[in-house]
Amino acid sequence: MSLEDIKQRLKKEFANDKTLLAWSERGRDYAFIARDKILNAAAILRDEFAFDFLMDLFCVDYLTYSTPLPDGDRYEIITHLYSSKTNERLFIKTYYSADDPSAESLTGLYPAANWFEREAFDMYGIIFKNHPDLRRILMYDGFEGHPLRKDYDIKKRQPLAVLIKKERSVFEDELRGEKFE
């Protein structure tokens, strides 16, 4: 299996899609796939090319970059796949606009995508459709905004987090050397 094999298979599947690109750079293989094709492409990569492990999924905000993304897109999601059978890696890049930062969730294909997608939602505001539990993972529920966006106001005051009063347990008291009564 080579990058060219992957490229040809994806081109066969998405014959009318002119946005499909594949290239190698610095010893790494990349593929650019249109946002509406990512779920189908990931299924092909998993089922036919043995990319059975999602190693990482992360987002980049290109708002202040000197070289903007094409078509006015703002966000890039990079999905890092690994094949334990062939020991190969593939980075899939997909662009999303600021007007509609929503992506298909990969959790149905790769359960490991769950927390990565939650992090991208929490930090950048990317909405993952059909995600089983899309909620904040790093910031508290009352936090306003998405702190890794380039337009996030770092001087903005946040509402105080509501602290949940926890019941004391016998085990914690014993650890502190206190006697529980």
Work out whether the CA dihedral 66, 71, 75, 80 comes out positive or negative: negative
Query: For the chain, how many residues are written?
Result: 181
**Euclidean distance between CA atoms 52 and 33, whole angstroms:** 18
Residue 121 confidence (pLDDT): 98
Domain ranges of the chain: 3-152
Q: What value does the mean pLDDT take over residues 79-106?
A: 95
CB neighbour class for 67 (10 Å; exposed up to 12, middle 13-18, buried from 19) = exposed
Per residue in 159-178, pLDDT (tens digit) is 877 766 666 555 555 656 66
**Euclidean distance between CA atoms 123 and 139, whole angstroms:** 8
Residue 104 confidence (pLDDT): 96
Residue 181 confidence (pLDDT): 54
Cβ count within 10 A of residue 91 = 16
pTM: 0.83
Is the CATH code 3.30.460.80 the one for domain 3-152?
A: yes
**Is pLDDT above 60 for 179?**
no
Residue 103 confidence (pLDDT): 95
Q: What rounded mean pLDDT belongs to the chain?
A: 88
